[in-house]
Amino acid sequence: MSQMSYFKKKGDPYIFAAGMGLIISLGMVAWILIVILAKGLGFFWPRDLVEVTLDDGKKYLGEMWEKRDDYDRHETQLKNGNRDLYGIDFVWMDDANIVSSEYPEGAFTFERMEYGNFYGYIVAVNVENQAVTAVDGDIVSKAYDAFELAHQTHDEVVETQQEITDLTEPLTRLQREISLLEIDRADRTEEGRALLERYRKEANEMEQAIAEEYLALNSELEKLVIKDRSIFLSVRTTDGRNKDLQLSHVVRFFAPNQMGIFEKSWHYMGKLWEFVADDPREANTEGGVFPAIFGTVMMVILMSIAVVPFGVMAAIYLNEYAKQGVVTRFIRLSVNNLAGVPSIVFGVFGLGFFIYFVGGSIDQLLFSDKLPEPTLGTGGILWASLTLALLTLPVVVVATEEGLLAVPRANKEGALALGATRWQMIRKVVLPNAMPGILTGLILAISRGAGEVAPLMITGVVKLAPTLALDATFPFLHLDRKFMHLGFHIYDVGFQSPNVEAAKPMVYSTALLLILIVILLNIVAIYVRNNLRKRYKSSTF
Amino acid sequence: MMNYQEEVDMVSQTDKQEQTHLDDVLAKERIVIETDDLDFYYNPEVKALKNINIRIPDKKVTAFIGPSGCGKSTLLRCFNRMNDLIPGAYLEGKVMIEDADIYSEKIRLEELRKRVGMVFQKSNPFPMSIWENVAFGPRVNGIQGKSDLDEIVEFALKQGDLWREVKDRLDSSALDLSGGQQQRLCIARTLANKPEIILMDEPASALDPISTGKIEETINELKKDYTIVIVTHNMQQAARISDYTAFMMLGEMVEMDTTKRIFTNPSVQMTEDYITGRFG
């Protein structure tokens, strides 16, 4: 026997190929995670501001963003912000043209509610017609004081606005009733006319009753708005253009070139917190993604609540009650095939069945006074969750069936031999034993459901929905509301936003967050499953 | 080697007239289980039991012996209708318990299995606490009060000779018990239902000699109160614990008699061959 044939008999090349396959798979997963981690986490780090002077005398101030090396050209991309002045946030420059680059101490980054970042120098602080310029000393701490004051004032503005809304709310409602009656031509009947008359009189009385308070609030609001507007910073860009920044529209400002590593870390934590806990700004390209996190988690929970009971019941019937034969085989095959149907098809089904048929019918029955404005007959978190529940049903059914099959026959027979009915056996012996299998199904369903975007796009996901599906106003759980979703957020920010370049890092951060949330949800489910497994470890001799 | 099938056929044709000794003995006993020309099929092609006529006396231990695949377990499982679980299986003939046909429509399955308890070859405690295991039967049969259940659990564990060992840890998992203890727990679990008949399907075959000894002691105690039918591979065990022994072969009942007579003076040559270890 030759060396070669022994080599083949041992199967070394195949073992090697198998090992390579595993390494490549692992490598790709690791690569995805590394790229997303690096790009996603780096986004929040406050970058130094570099002032670049080109050989034609042009000056730019901004963050170093990217370098591009072509064959013999080396180019640098600078994020120079100031979109309101320059029109675009980014500029490419040839490295050969750069005369000097410096890191000026006094350069500030201003994060604004609108128009993206502003990079420049503080010239003066204006508070209610009093200007403090650099000549008068510590301008930076003055600026921070003004910043505090501006936000305080802004909060007061919002508060006053809310007060006015609360004050006029009953009147507004009454007026709505009146206009509805008018639309219905209620004045054609005697009693309709009387009702309309009464409503109008009530509205008049109400208006008079609140008039004084209303005017007082309004003038207060006016004063506050003027005060708010009067607090601003005069800033200058590096190429000498001046700009006034209203401080209540500035989210934060800082001088990155002066910051040490600890200050930067602190800033970084703050940004990270803002990212997970705040609402988005600027067409989702800035700020946080909290509504999207909330929407994703809530949708997954609703989906689980819907899919687990159905899947488990179906699997129990299929496995324990149904007579095994051609029909059950066919059903099993169909369920398995359902798992392979493209998710957008489920989305279309959800739109047609849940939203138009079920939601539309409910609207006809229960909310007919609001028609033609739909209540449940439009996309919402409930319909999206149910659509995903349908999508993940096969996974749960298959995993549960496996769990049921793994229950030792001896245990089932033992229960029956003690006089238990079939149902008692299932309830007390089979289900607890199959619990780990059921949870495995849930884990798979969560993984699949949390990452699915296509069906959601037509069943209730929107670009921006700051009102959450769960809040403090009755009935607390608003299942009819539209919602945001991290997966859709990635698509929207990355490909639908007006400023794709600036939003790119946000895509990575959001992707990272989505992965983390899926992992977190899975860890919880796996933890529960392992605890159950310990309880139901099989008997040993 | 002779052809056993022929011999079995020959015996079953002749034994009808000859079994006078057994008739004499059984005349003094109360018969609890009786079968009438019982045939059992796993499917129309596989006939596992052929023309079984057996009478099992009250408050006695009856052992079924015979080589593997002879149908002793199948016969046992006909008595509490465990065979109903096998898809496609069916039987012909009658099984009477206390003169009632247990395969008739009127019989409620759960009620039957409560009356006719069963202990399996491999111990099968549920993954619950010891207490919950024993209380399982009474609970599914409608007893709910905690104090009632406590009483039943203590009674059953005492009768199953396990009380001394587990009385301080009734809440710990039954799966933490040793193999022998688990099997006695399964016996106690059956006793908690206060059955009339206990079927045992090779209850000690997976246990070490000491555990086996304990199980046998327990069975000896139990026969005062219960009718016990036991399937065993172990001839010595059958000789030690049973009052009656039935020898089965290829799905047919070759011979049944008092254990003493079967082991000392069997009327069929094949029984003697089997007992003396010439085959099987």
pLDDT digits (tens, 9 = 90+) for A270-287: 888 988 888 887 777 778
Token digits of residue B93: 């003939």
Chain B residue with Cα closest to A430 = B126
Would you say residue A314 lies in a domain? yes
Of B117, B173, B174, the CB nearest to A417: B117
User: What value does the mean pLDDT take over residues B146-172?
Assistant: 90
Q: Predicted ipTM?
A: 0.88
pLDDT at residue A134 greater than cutoff 70: no
Considering only residues A353 and A191, tell me which one the structure prediction assigns the higher pLDDT: A353
**Partner B contacted by A408 (CB < 8 A):** yes
Instruction: Please tell me if residue A541 touches chain B, with a CB cutoff of 8 Å.
Output: yes
**Residue scoring higher pLDDT (B232 or A525):** B232
Residue A30 is predicted with a pLDDT of 94
**Domain with A423 in it:** 290-535
> What pLDDT score does A123 carry?
85
Q: Has residue A235 got a pLDDT over 80?
A: yes
Question: What whole-number distance in Å separates Cα of residue A44 and Cα of residue B243?
Answer: 86
- Rounded distance between C-alpha atoms, residue B203 and residue A90, angstroms: 82
Chain B CB contacts of A535 under 8 Å are: 127, 173
Q: What is the overall mean pLDDT for chain A?
A: 86
Largest Cα separation within chain B, whole Å, is 62
Query: Which of the four pLDDT bands, split at 50, 70 and 90, describes residue A255?
Result: confident
A20 and A64 share a domain? no
pLDDT bucket at A320, cuts 50 / 70 / 90? confident
Please determine, for residue B81, whether its predicted confidence score (pLDDT) is greater than 70. yes
Is A78 found in the same domain as A29?
Answer: no
Confidence of residue A541 (pLDDT cuts 50, 70, 90): very low
Check pLDDT > 60 for residue A250.
Answer: yes
A178 and A51, same structural domain? yes
Mean pLDDT of A195-204: 85
Residue of A nearest to B133 (CA): A415
Choose the mutation target among B85, B126, B199 for the interface with A, i.e. most A CBs under 10 Å: B126
Nearest residue of A to residue B179, measured between CA atoms: A541
State the amino acid at position A391 in one-letter form. Answer: L
Contacts of B39 (CB under 8 A, 6+ apart): B47, B49, B50, B51, B52, B91, B92, B93
**Structural domain tally of chain A?**
3
Mean pLDDT of B149-159: 91
Strands A118-127 and A232-236: antiparallel
Strand B90-97 and strand B55-57: the pairing is: unpaired
Q: How does the average pLDDT of chain B come out, rounded? A: 87
The Cα B231–Cα A344 span in angstroms is: 60
Is pLDDT of A379 > 90? no
Q: Do A324 and B87 touch (CB under 8 A)?
A: yes
Report the 10 Å Cβ neighbour count for A96.
11
In angstroms, the separation between the Cα of residue B246 and the nearest Cα of chain A is: 24
- Is residue B249 within 8 Å of residue B67, measured between CB atoms? yes
**Which residues in chain B touch residue A417, judged by CB atoms under 8 angstroms apart?**
80, 82, 113, 117-118, 120, 190
Q: What are the residues of chain B with a beta carbon less than 8 Å away from any beta carbon of chain A? A: 80, 82, 85, 87, 110-111, 113-114, 117-118, 120, 122-127, 136-137, 140-141, 173-175, 179, 182, 186, 189-190, 193, 206
At A325, list the tokens. Answer: 């034969």
Domain presence at residue A223: yes
Q: Domain for residue A280, yes or no?
A: no
Q: Is the pLDDT of residue B12 over 70?
A: no
Search chain A and give the residue with CA nearest B81. Answer: A417
Within a domain: A151: yes
- pLDDT grade for B19, boundaries at 50, 70 and 90: low
Q: Is A541 domain-assigned?
A: no
Report pLDDT for A1: 58
What's residue A136's pLDDT? Answer: 58
pLDDT computed for residue A534 by the predictor: 74
- pLDDT of the residue at A540: 38
Tell me the average pLDDT across A294-320. Answer: 92
Is residue A207 over pLDDT 80?
yes
Mean pLDDT to the nearest integer, A249-258:
87
Q: Are A392 and A445 in contact (CB under 8 A)?
A: yes
Give mean pLDDT, residues A469-478.
Answer: 76
The per-residue pLDDT for range B209-266, each reduced to its tens digit, is 888 998 898 899 888 899 999 999 888 889 999 999 999 988 888 889 899 988 988 8
Does pLDDT of A331 surpass 50? yes
Co-location of A27 and A53 in the same domain: no
Binary contact (A418, B175; C-beta < 8 A): no
A283 strand-pairing partners: none
Task: Tell whether A349 is within 8 A of chain B (Cβ).
Answer: no
CB contacts < 8 A, A to B, total 80
Q: Do A413 and B82 touch (CB under 8 A)?
A: yes
Q: Which of B22, B19, B39, B40 is nearest to B31 (CA)?
A: B22
Min Cα distance A417 → chain B (Å) is: 6
Closest Cα of chain A to B185: distance in Å? 12
Domain closes at, from A243, A258, A273: A258
Task: Identify whether A246 is part of a domain.
Answer: yes
Residue A138: predicted pLDDT: 78
Encoded tokens for B41: 């099929």
CA-based R_g, chain A, Å: 32
| pLDDT at site B178 | 87
* CATH code of residue A428: 1.10.3720.10
- Report which of A365, A115, A410, A10 is spatially closest to residue B175, judged by C-alpha positions: A410
Q: How confident is the model at residue B10 (pLDDT cuts 50, 70, 90)?
A: low
**What are the two backbone dihedrals, phi and then psi, of residue A271, each rounded to the nearest 5 degrees?**
-65, -40
**A36 in the same domain as A51:** no
Does residue A108 sit in the same domain as residue A231? yes
* A469 and A364 part of one domain: yes
A388 falls in which pLDDT band (50, 70, 90)? Answer: very high
For residue A541, which residues of chain B lie inside 8 Å, CB to CB? 123, 179, 206
Q: Which two tokens stand for residue A142?
A: 């003055």
- B-chain CB neighbours of A319 within 8 Å are none
Contact with chain B for residue A539, Cβ under 8 A: yes
- Contact: B124, A408; criterion CB under 8 Å: yes
**Domain identity same for A36 and A182:** no
The two beta strands, B197-201 and B90-97, are unpaired
Mean pLDDT along residues A255-277: 88
Q: Quick one: pLDDT at residue A197?
A: 84
Check residue A312 and give its pLDDT: 93
Picking from A410, A421, A535, the nearest residue to B110 by CB comes out as A421
Query: Does residue A270 lie within any of the structural domains?
Result: no
- Tell me the chain A residues in contact with residue B189 when contact means C-beta distances shorter than 8 Å: 414, 418
Q: Measuring CA to CA, how many Å separate A473 from each of A164, A299, A325, A467, B204?
A: 19, 20, 53, 11, 66
Q: How far apart are CA A395 and CA A421, in angstroms?
A: 29
Q: Is the pLDDT of residue A153 over 60?
A: yes
Q: Which two tokens stand for residue A23?
A: 């390494």
Tell me if A284 is assigned to some domain: no
Q: Are A181 and A195 in contact (CB under 8 A)?
A: yes
What CA–CA distance (Å, rounded) separates B89 from A342?
Answer: 43
Same domain, A448 and A528: yes
pLDDT number for residue B198: 93
Decide if B127 and A428 are in contact by the 8 Å CB cutoff: no
Tell me, what's the pLDDT at A65? Answer: 83
**Helices B179-191 & A409-417 angle (0-180, nearest 10):** 30
Running DSSP on this structure, what letter comes out for residue A538?
A: P
Q: Is A324 on the interface with B (CB under 8 A)?
A: yes
Least confidently predicted of A207-211, A238-242, A448-452, A472-476: A472-476
Q: What is the model's pLDDT at position A539?
A: 41
In terms of domains, do A210 and A307 share one?
no
Task: Test A417 with B87 for CB contact under 8 angstroms.
Answer: no
| Domain identity same for A16 and A132 | no
Q: How far off is chain A from B178, nearest CA to CA, in Å?
A: 7
Report yes or no: A319 at the B interface, CB cutoff 8 Å.
no
- What would the pLDDT profile of B68-78 be if each residue is shown by its tens digit? 888 889 999 99
Question: What is d(CA A149, CA A138) in angstroms, rounded to the nearest whole number?
Answer: 17
Using an 8 Å CB-CB cutoff, list chain A residues near B193: 418-419
CB B218 within 8 A of CB B187: yes
Among residues B187, B29, B85, B149, the alpha carbon closest in space to that of A409 is found at B85
Are B122 and A413 an interchain contact pair (Cβ–Cβ within 8 Å)? no
3-state secondary structure of A135: helix
For residues A67 and A191, state if they share a domain: yes
pLDDT at A474 over 60: yes
A325 and B CB contact within 8 Å: no
In the predicted model, what is the mean pLDDT of residues B166-171?
89
